[in-house]
Structure 1
Amino acid sequence: MPNGRDPRIDFFRGLALIFIFWDHVPHNPLGQITLRNVGFSDAAEVFVFLAGFAAVLAYGKIMQRDGYWMACLKILRRAWVLYVVHIFLLALLMGIVFFANSHVETRDLVEEMGLTHFVTHPQQALTDELLLRFKPNLMDPLPLYIVLLAGLPLVLPMLVRKVEAVVAVSLAIYLLAPWMGWNLRAISDGVWYFNPVTWQLLFVLGGAAAIYSQRPKTAETRPLLRQPLFVASAVYVLVAGVITLSWRWPEIHDAWMPAALSNWLYPISKTDLSPVRLVHFLALAYVTAKLWPGAGWTQNRVAGEICRMGRYSLEVFCLGVVLAPLADMINAMANDTVAMQLTTAVIGALLMAGLAAWLELIKRLDRQPRAALHT
C-alpha cells in the first residue's frame, strides 16, 4: 500500500467513475455491463461508501495527529473546494449542453438534462445554483458529497471513539427520514434526487468500515461456504441479480414474480436509498472483500490505470460529467450506431484515464524540485 493507500479502494472508486460515465450516455452498449444491471444498487452507492471510507481514514489521522480543529479546518476547506468546483462545473456543463443541443435536431437535450429552469428563469436559476437547489442531470453526486463532507466534523470525534453509537444514530435517522419526509429542497421534483438525510447512512458506514479496517483482525479459518454471513450475502446478491436481469423481459418477470413479493419490493427508491438497495450494496461489498482479501490483483496494468483514476476521483468525475453530453451529441449525430456508441464510450474512458495519468505526472514533477532542495 504505497503512501498508506489501499489500492483496492482506489480501484473501485475508479471503476465507479467509469460506470457513472457509461450509465449517463444514453443507449451506450457498455452501459449494459455496469453494476446497475446486475443488482439493486449501482455505482452511486460505491461512490458514497468509498467517499466516507476515504474521508474518515484521512481526516481521522489528521485529527489524531494535529487535533480536532485542524481536522475541521481541512474538512471544511475541502468542502469549499468541492463547492467552487460544483459552480464552475455546472456552468461548463450548461455551455456544453446548449452547444450540443444546437447540433442535435431530433432531441431536446436541454430538457433531457434538466436545464429548462435556467432557460425560463435564468436569474432564479443562478441563485438556486449557489444554494445547491438547481442540480441538472449528472450533477447530483457532487452536491451530495459536499453536504456529507461538510457534516463530517459533527460526527468524526464520536465515530473514531464510539463507532457503534454513531452507526445506530445514523440508522435511526435513515429509517425516520422517509416516514417524516425529511429531505432538502430542489427545483426538480421539489427535493434532492439523492436525499442526504438517508444517504448519510452509507457515508457513515463507509467511515465505520475505515475505522474497523485499522483494528487488529482475527483470521477466519473456515471455508467461505461454511461462513453463514458470506453465504447469506452471496445468495442475496445472486437473487437480486436474477430479479434485475428479469426486468429486461417484463412478461417473464411478471409471470414468475409472486404478487406479494412484488408489492413488498417495489418501488425501489434511489432517492431515499431503499433498504433493498442498501442491503444489496453491503452484501456485494462483503462478498467482494471476502473473495479478494488481498491487493495483489490490482498490480496488473489495467487495474493500475483504474486505481490511478480513483486517486484523482474529483477531477476524473468532473471530466466524466463533461464528456457524457458530448458523447451523447456525437452518437446522436451518427444516428446512434452501435459502432459510434462503443467508440465514444471507450474514448471517454481513455480520456478519463489520461487525465489521471497527466495529473500524476504533474504531481511527480512538482516533487522533484522539492527533493532537489533537500539534497
Structure 2
Amino acid sequence: MLNGRDPRIDFFRGLALIFIFWDHVPHNPFGLITLRNFGFSDAAEVFVFLAGFASVLAYGKVLQREGYWMACLKILRRTWVLYVVHIFLLALLMGIVFFANSHVETRDLVAEMGLTHFVTHPQQALTDELLLRFKPNLMDPLPLYIVLLAGLSVVLPLMVRATWAVVGVSLVVYLLAPWMGWNLRAIADGVWYFNPVTWQLLFVLGGAAAIYSQRPREPEKRPLKRQPLFVAAALYVLVAGVITLSWLWPEVHDAVMPTALSNLLYPISKTDLSPVRLVHFLALAYVTAKLLPERGWTQNPLAERVCQMGRYSLEVFCLGVVLAPLADMLNALAGDAMAMQLLTALVGVVLMSALAAWLEFNKRLNQAPRETTLNR
C-alpha cells in the first residue's frame, strides 16, 4: 500500500476507463485487445467492483473517524454530485451526437445512440432523464453507480461490522432477481441495461474486498501451483479465454463446443450479470492480485499516467463518453480508414490522460496555499 492506497486499484480503474472508451467507438481496432475479447466479463465489471472497493475504503474511514451520520451525509453529497453530472453529461452528449449526425450522411447516429426517444417525445424524455429512466448508449454505468452509491449510505455500518452477512443477503438478492424479474424501469429496452438489483453484488464484493484488505493476514507460503483456489481460478480464466476467442470462428466454436456445455453456458446475460461473467471476473481479479505485487511495477511513467486517470475516474469517464461519438464521427467522415481509427483511439486516450494530469496539477496548486498558511 502507498499512503494506505493500493496503486493497483488506481491502475486498473484507469485501464478500465481506457477499455470502456475503446469499446464505445465502433470498429475501433484497439477494441480487439480489450478485456471483453479474452473472457466472459469486461471493463464494466472492473469499474463497478473497484467503485465498491474505493467507496467502502473511503467512507469506511469517515465512518470510523466521524460517525455514521457524517459518513452518510458525505455519501449522499457525492451521490448528488454524480446525479448532477449525469444530467449535464447527457445534455452535452445529445448536443454532440446531433452535431455529429448532421455531418455523417451514411448513418443515423441519433438512432444508434438511443436518442430517438428525445426526438419523438422531448418533454417526456426530459422527465425520464431526471428519473434516470432515459439512458442513451454510453450512459448506463453512471446511473448504476448513482443507485449503488446511494444504497451504500444505508448498508455501510453493517458492511463494516458484519461484512459476510451483507454479502450473504446481497447474494440471495442477486440469485432471486432474474427469477423474480426484479429490475428498474427504463425507456427503450423497458428495463435498465445494467440491472442494479444484480450488479449490486459486485459492488458489495468490492466493498468486502476493501475491508478484508485492511485486516492483517498471514502471507501465503505455499507456491501458487500448490494453492487449489489459485489453480482453479487460473484454469477458469484460461478456459473462458479460449471459449471467447472461439467466438471469432463460429463454425469452429459450434463444432467443438459440447451441446451440454453450450446449454449450460448460454445465454450470457450482461444485464443480470450472468454467473459465468461474475465468476470469471472474480477469478481474473484473484489471479491478477496473486501475480502482481502491490508496488514497484506501477512506478514507471506509463503506469503512473494510467494510475492518475484512475484517481480521477469520474471526470475521465465523462470525457471518454463525450469523446466516443466525436471519434465515431471523424472515423465515419474518413470512410472508417484504419489510420483515422487508430489516430482517434490514441488521441482520445491522450486527452483523457491530459485531463487527469491537469486535475492532479490543479489539486496540488490548491493545496500549496493551505500548506503555506499552516507553516506561517
TM-score tier by shorter-chain length is over 0.9
Q: Name the structure 2 match of 1:72.
A: 72
User: Counterparts in 2 of 1:15-164, with a 5 A limit?
Assistant: 15-164=15-164
Q: Deviations over 1:203-257 (max 9, x none)?
A: 0000000000011111111110110000000000000000000000000000000
State the shift of 1:294 in Å: 2.1
Amino acid at match of 1:85: V
Q: Does 1:222 align with 2:218?
A: no
State the shift of 1:4 in Å: 2.4
Distance, in Å, in 1 between the alignment partners of 2:368 and 2:230 is 47
Q: Does 1:340 align with 2:313?
A: no
* 1:279 match: secondary structure: helix
Q: Name the structure 2 match of 1:258.
A: 258
State the shift of 1:2 in Å: 4.3
Distance, in Å, in 1 between the alignment partners of 2:306 and 2:215 is 27
State the shift of 1:14 in Å: 0.2
Distance, in Å, in 1 between the alignment partners of 2:282 and 2:205 is 9
TM-score by length of 1: 0.99
Distance, in Å, in 1 between the alignment partners of 2:87 and 2:219 is 47
Q: Name the structure 1 match of 2:286.
A: 286
Distance, in Å, in 2 between the alignment partners of 1:79 and 1:163 is 22
Runs of 4+ in 1 over 4 A off after TM superposition: none
Unaligned runs of 5+ in 2: none
Distance, in Å, in 2 between the alignment partners of 1:273 and 1:220 is 31
Amino acid at match of 2:71: A
State the shift of 1:54 in Å: 0.3
Number of residues of Structure 1 aligned to a counterpart in Structure 2: 375
Unaligned runs of 5+ in 1: none
* 2:192 match: secondary structure: coil
State the shift of 1:57 in Å: 0.4
Distance, in Å, in 1 between the alignment partners of 2:188 and 2:297 is 42
Amino acid at match of 1:305: R
Distance, in Å, in 2 between the alignment partners of 1:311 and 1:214 is 19
* 2:189 match: secondary structure: helix
State the shift of 1:329 in Å: 0.1
Q: Does 1:366 align with 2:360?
A: no
Report if the CA contact (8 A) 2:182-2:197 is conserved: yes
* 2:293 match: secondary structure: coil
TM-score by length of 2: 0.99
Q: Name the structure 2 match of 1:330.
A: 330
Report if the CA contact (8 A) 2:96-2:322 is conserved: yes
Q: Name the structure 2 match of 1:181.
A: 181
Distance, in Å, in 2 between the alignment partners of 1:245 and 1:348 is 27
State the shift of 1:6 in Å: 1.4
Distance, in Å, in 1 between the alignment partners of 2:150 and 2:126 is 22
Q: Name the structure 2 match of 1:300.
A: 300
Q: Name the structure 1 match of 2:195.
A: 195
Q: Name the structure 1 match of 2:244.
A: 244
Distance, in Å, in 1 between the alignment partners of 2:370 and 2:270 is 47
Amino acid at match of 1:124: Q
Q: Deviations over 1:91-147 (max 9, x none)?
A: 000000000000100000000000000000000000000000000000000000000
Report if the CA contact (8 A) 2:184-2:192 is conserved: yes
State the shift of 1:5 in Å: 1.9
RMSD, aligned CA:
0.6
Report if the CA contact (8 A) 2:16-2:47 is conserved: yes
State the shift of 1:183 in Å: 0.2
* 2:81 match: secondary structure: helix
Aligned residues with identical type, % of pairs:
83
Distance, in Å, in 1 between the alignment partners of 2:52 and 2:209 is 9
Distance, in Å, in 2 between the alignment partners of 1:231 and 1:285 is 13
Distance, in Å, in 1 between the alignment partners of 2:327 and 2:83 is 26
Distance, in Å, in 2 between the alignment partners of 1:293 and 1:57 is 20
Distance, in Å, in 2 between the alignment partners of 1:147 and 1:252 is 41
Q: Name the structure 2 match of 1:317.
A: 317
State the shift of 1:321 in Å: 0.1
Distance, in Å, in 2 between the alignment partners of 1:50 and 1:136 is 24
Report if the CA contact (8 A) 2:7-2:294 is conserved: no
Distance, in Å, in 2 between the alignment partners of 1:366 and 1:131 is 35
Q: Deviations over 1:25-82 (max 9, x none)?
A: 0000000000000000000000000000000000000000000000000000000000
* 1:102 match: secondary structure: helix
Q: Name the structure 1 match of 2:205.
A: 205
Distance, in Å, in 1 between the alignment partners of 2:344 and 2:220 is 45
Distance, in Å, in 2 between the alignment partners of 1:305 and 1:188 is 37
Distance, in Å, in 2 between the alignment partners of 1:278 and 1:17 is 19
